[in-house]
């Protein structure tokens, strides 16, 4: 079982036709896109999304991503994608869970790790910028 985060966001996605392959299942690379949609919802909930990150002078590239496929999603299936914030002080780690919206059956799980990079110098930061940490603290209240 993956660690549950201190903050969560969940989005519902209706699997579009253009995301499935010739086997009628979602092509494996699209799950990362679904994770991204949920992560953006989580960052919006925190109040510090990618636009605000850039305005603060930081990029947040992904340095690690993990996926575990359990069951393939299919065309026109309603899925729930949940993003859980589990680390934020030194890096941004988010755990994900994709389930069938009707049955709750687990389909995919994973995690991503991002680090702050100062845009002006292109230097990786060894701790998250204060502006991001403060946004998380505000969201936790």
pLDDT tens digits, 53-85: 999 999 999 999 999 999 999 999 999 999 999
Average pLDDT along the chain: 96
CATH 3.30.700.30 describes domain 7-140: no
pLDDT tens digit sequence for 40-54: 999 999 999 999 999
Distance CA 141, CA 123 (A): 31
CA 78 to each of CA 2, 10, 21, 99, 103: distance values in angstroms, whole numbers, following the listed order = 22, 13, 17, 9, 10
124: CB partners within 8 A, 6+ apart: 115, 116, 117
- Band of pLDDT at residue 95, cut at 50, 70 and 90: very high
Which candidate, 63, 104, 103, places its Cα nearest to that of 82? Answer: 104
Domain ranges of the chain: 7-140
């Amino acid at each position: 079982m993956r660690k549950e985060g201190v903050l969560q966001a969940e989005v519902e996605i209706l699997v579009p036709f253009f995301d499935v392959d010739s086997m009628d299942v979602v092509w494996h690379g699209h799950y990362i896109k679904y994770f991204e949609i949920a992560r953006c919802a989580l960052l919006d909930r925190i109040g510090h999304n990618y636009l605000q990150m850039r305005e603060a002078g930081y990029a947040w590239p992904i340095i690690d991503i993990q996926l575990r496929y359990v069951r393939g999603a299919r065309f026109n299936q309603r899925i729930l994608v949940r993003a859980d914030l589990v680390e934020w002080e030194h890096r941004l780690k988010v755990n994900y869970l994709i389930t069938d919206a009707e049955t709750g059956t687990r389909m995919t799980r994973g995690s991503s790790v991002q680090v702050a990079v100062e845009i002006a110098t292109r230097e990786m930061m060894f701790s998250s910028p204060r502006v991001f940490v403060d946004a998380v603290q505000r969201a936790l209240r």
